[in-house]
Amino acid sequence: MTSENGRKKTRRPNGTGSEWKDAKGVWHARKQTDPDPRTGRRRWIEAQAPTKTAARQKLEAKIDQRRRQGTLPLADVPTVDLYLDRWLHQTANRVKPRVLDTYRSECNAIRGVIGGMRLDRITPETIEAMCDELATTRSGKTVHNIYIRTKQILTHAVRDKLIPINPALAAIPPRYEPADTIILQPGQPAAAIHAAHDPKPRKRDTLHDDQSDHDMWALMFDLAFATGMRQAERFAITPSELVTRDGIHGIEVRWQLQQLKPDATIPGWLQARHITGNFWLIPPKTRQGIRFIPLDTRTWLRLLELANKHQCAPDDLIFTRHGQPLTGNVERRRWHRALQDAGFPPVTMRAARHFFSTHLAQTGAPEDARKAIMGHAKITTTARYTHWTPETLAALADEAREAIGISGE
Distance separating alpha carbons of residues 84 and 342, to the nearest angstrom: 49
Question: Using the 8-state DSSP alphabet, how is residue 345 labeled?
Answer: -
Stated as kind and residue range, the H or E segment containing 102 is helix 97-114
Instruction: For 7-58, write each residue's pLDDT tens digit.
Output: 444 555 555 578 888 988 998 988 877 776 677 777 788 888 899 899 888 8
Alpha carbon 221 to its chain centroid, in Å, reads 24
Residues linked to residue 341 through DSSP beta bridges, in sequence order: none
Position 36, amino acid: D
Instruction: For 127-175, write each residue's pLDDT tens digit.
Output: 999 999 999 999 999 999 999 999 999 999 999 999 999 999 999 999 9
- The pTM of the full predicted model, rounded to 2 decimals, is 0.82
Q: For residues 255 and 273, is the Cβ–Cβ distance under 8 A?
A: yes
Position 338, amino acid: A
Q: For residues 385 and 353, is the Cβ–Cβ distance under 8 A?
A: yes
Residue 293, classed as helix, strand or coil, is: strand
Distance separating alpha carbons of residues 378 and 257, to the nearest angstrom: 23
pLDDT above 80 (res 234):
yes
Q: What does the pLDDT read at residue 387? A: 87
Instruction: For 180-195, write each residue's pLDDT tens digit.
Output: 889 999 999 999 999 9
